[in-house]
Amino acid sequence: MAGAKLDPIDRHILAELQADGRMTNVELAKRVGISAPPCLRRVRTLEEQGYIRGYHAEIDSRELGFEVQVFAMVRLNSQAESDLTAFEERCRSWPLVRECHMLNGEIDFILKCVAPDLSSFQSFLTGDLLKAPNVANVKTSLVIRGSKDEPGVPFEVLEERIARQA
Amino acid sequence: MAGAKLDPIDRHILAELQADGRMTNVELAKRVGISAPPCLRRVRTLEEQGYIRGYHAEIDSRELGFEVQVFAMVRLNSQAESDLTAFEERCRSWPLVRECHMLNGEIDFILKCVAPDLSSFQSFLTGDLLKAPNVANVKTSLVIRGSKDEPGVPFEVLEERIARQA
DNA sequence: GCTGAAATCGCCTAACG
DNA sequence: CGTTAGGCGATTTCAGC
C-alpha cells in the first residue's frame, strides 16, 4: 500500500502542514512529539521525496476582484494523444483556467476557471476556448456558491485504513 | 473595483506567498523591495482583512495512496434552500468529498472526490452519496490525468486589469 | 539508522524615529 | 517606511540510544 513507507510521525507532520503550512518548525515538532532537529530533517525528506509539493497561501480570489467561477466541460473532436496534449498545453497557457482535468466518459476535459466578471469570462469563452483547434463543444456552469473547498488529502481516511490493515 | 484598496506592494506580497507560502519574512521583504518590519505588518493586515485565508502544504495525494480522483455531478429533487443547505452539510461531513460547488443549469452540484481505489469510491457512491435524501441522480467521471492544477488567483490578469484602467 | 542537546546563526518582531 | 536591538526560531554539530 502506498504511503506505508511513512511512519505515524511523518503522516502527522503532513497533516499539520496541510492544515497550517506556515507553522514554525518548533511548533510543528511540539505537535508531533519530537524535538526540532529531527522534525526539520523529516520535513526536508518529505519535500525531497515529493510528498510535499509546495506551500501556498490561500488567497480570497473574490476579494481580489475575481467574482466569477465557472466549470467548463469540454468535448474534443479528436482524442488522439497528440491532440489531447495540444489541448492541455493550451489550457496551461490560459491564466483564467486554474485547473484542467482529463476525464473518461462523454466529457473529455473539465476546466475550473475564474474571471473578474461574466463578460470577461464570455470573451475568454468565445474568443479563446471555443476558437481553439479541435474543440467540439463546451458546456459551462456558473458556480452559484462554494459549499466546501478543502483540496488535499483526507488524513482521517488514511489513518483509518492503516489502522484497519494493522 | 475590488482589490483596488491594495497597493502594488500588497499585491506583490500576495503573489509571492501564493507561490511559496513558507518563504521567510526577510526573503519576502527583499523580493517586494521593502524592509522586513513593514513587510510583516502588511502580511498581518492582509491576513486580518481576509485576503489571506490560510497557508497549506500541497501534499501529493497519489503518493499517499489516494489513486483515484472523481468528479460527481449531482442533481437533486428539490432545490428549496433548506434542501440545498442540507446537501451541502452532508458533503462537508464526507471526507472523500474535497470540494463541493453549487452550479446553475441542469446540474445542481459538482463534487470533486478522492479515494484510495475504485472500489472505495464505489462504496461511497452507492452507500452514501446515492442514498442521501433528495439526491435524484449522480453522474461520475474519473480523472484520467491531471493537466493543470494551480488553484488560486491569476495575478498576471489582475495586474493587467489594473494597468489598463490606470 | 535514529533521536536529542547544545551552540551558532539568522530571523522575527517589538519600539522608536 | 526604516533602523535598531533583544529574544526566539532555525539549523548545524556532536554525542547517545
Report the distance separating Cα A60 and Cα B151, nearest Å. 11
Domain extents in chain B: 2-57, 68-142
Whole-number pLDDT of residue A165 = 83
Instruction: Determine, for residues A101 and B145 on separate chains, whether the beta-carbon distance falls below 8 Å.
Output: yes
Rounded to the nearest angstrom, the minimum Cα separation between B55 and chain A is 4
Contact B161, A116 (CB under 8 A): yes
Q: What is the DSSP letter of A105?
A: S
B7 pLDDT above the threshold of 80 = yes
Q: What is the mean pLDDT of residues B125-134?
A: 98
Nucleotide lying nearest to A24, CA to C1' measure: D9
The 3-state DSSP class for residue A100 equals: strand
Whole-number pLDDT of residue B22 = 96
Q: Mind listing the pLDDT tens digit for each residue in A81-97?
A: 999 999 999 999 999 99
Give the strand pairing for A68-76 and B109-115: unpaired
Contact A64, B2 (CB under 8 A): yes
Report the distance separating Cα B23 and Cα A67, nearest Å. 28
All three cell numbers of A80: 488522439
Q: Mind listing the pLDDT tens digit for each residue in A121-156?
A: 999 999 999 999 999 999 999 999 999 999 999 999
Q: What is the mean pLDDT of residues A67-84?
A: 98
A67 pLDDT above the threshold of 60 = yes
| Amino acid B49 CA to nucleotide C14 C1' distance, rounded Å | 22
Whole-number pLDDT of residue A5 = 78
Instruction: Determine, for residues A18 and B152 on separate chains, whether the beta-carbon distance falls below 8 Å.
Output: no
Whole-number pLDDT of residue B62 = 96
Residue with cell 518529505: A46
Q: What is the mean pLDDT of residues A18-47?
A: 95
Whole-number pLDDT of residue A4 = 59
Counting residues of chain B whose pLDDT is more than 70, the rounded percentage is 98
Report the distance separating Cα A89 and Cα A94, nearest Å. 9
Contacts A109 to B, Cβ<8 Å: 147
| Amino acid A21 CA to nucleotide D13 C1' distance, rounded Å | 28
A2-57 CATH choice from 1.10.10.10, 3.40.1350.10, 3.40.50.300, 1.20.1250.20: 1.10.10.10
Q: What is the 3-state secondary structure (H, E, C) of chain B?
A: CCCCCCCHHHHHHHHHHHHCCCCCHHHHHHHHCCCHHHHHHHHHHHHHCCCEEEEEEEECCCCCCCCEEEEEEEEECCCCHHHHHHHHHHHHHCCCEEEEEEECCCCCEEEEEEECCHHHHHHHHHHHHCCCCCEEEEEEEEEEEEEEECCCCCHHHHHHHHHHHC
All three cell numbers of B121: 469510491
B1 pLDDT above the threshold of 70 = no
Which residue(s) pair with A99 in the sheet?
A112, B149
On average, the pLDDT of chain A sits at: 95
A1 pLDDT above the threshold of 60 = no
Confidence of residue B166 (pLDDT cuts 50, 70, 90): confident
Q: What is the mean pLDDT of residues A17-41?
A: 95
Report the distance separating Cα A143 and Cα B119, nearest Å. 30
Q: What is the mean pLDDT of residues B46-60?
A: 97
Nucleotides of C under 7 A from a protein CB: 2-6, 10-15
Confidence of residue A2 (pLDDT cuts 50, 70, 90): low
At the topology level of CATH, where does A68-142 sit? Answer: Alpha-Beta Plaits (3.30.70)
Report the distance separating Cα B156 and Cα B6, nearest Å. 15
Nucleotides of D under 7 A from a protein CB: 1-4, 9-14
Contact B22, B43 (CB under 8 A): no
The closest alpha carbon to B1, from A17, A22, A63, belongs to: A63
All three cell numbers of B132: 442521501
Instruction: Determine, for residues B3 and A71 on separate chains, whether the beta-carbon distance falls below 8 Å.
Output: no
Whole-number pLDDT of residue B165 = 87
Q: What is the mean pLDDT of residues A62-86?
A: 98
Q: Mind listing the pLDDT tens digit for each residue in B10-37?
A: 999 999 999 999 999 999 999 999 999 9
Instruction: Determine, for residues B103 and A53 on separate chains, whether the beta-carbon distance falls below 8 Å.
Output: no
Whole-number pLDDT of residue B107 = 97
B3 pLDDT above the threshold of 70 = no
B:18-37 Cβ neighbours of strand C under 7 Å: 24-27, 36-37
Contacts B121 to A, Cβ<8 Å: none
On average, the pLDDT of chain B sits at: 96
Q: What is the DSSP letter of A34?
A: S
All three cell numbers of A47: 519535500
Instruction: Determine, for residues A52 and B62 on separate chains, whether the beta-carbon distance falls below 8 Å.
Output: no
Nearest residue of chain A to residue B149 (CA atoms):
A99
Total number of residues shown for chain B: 166
B42 pLDDT above the threshold of 90 = yes
Report the distance separating Cα B91 and Cα B106, nearest Å. 19
Of A22, A99, A139, nearest to B148 by CB-CB distance is A99
Q: What is the mean pLDDT of residues B56-85?
A: 97
Total number of residues shown for chain A: 166
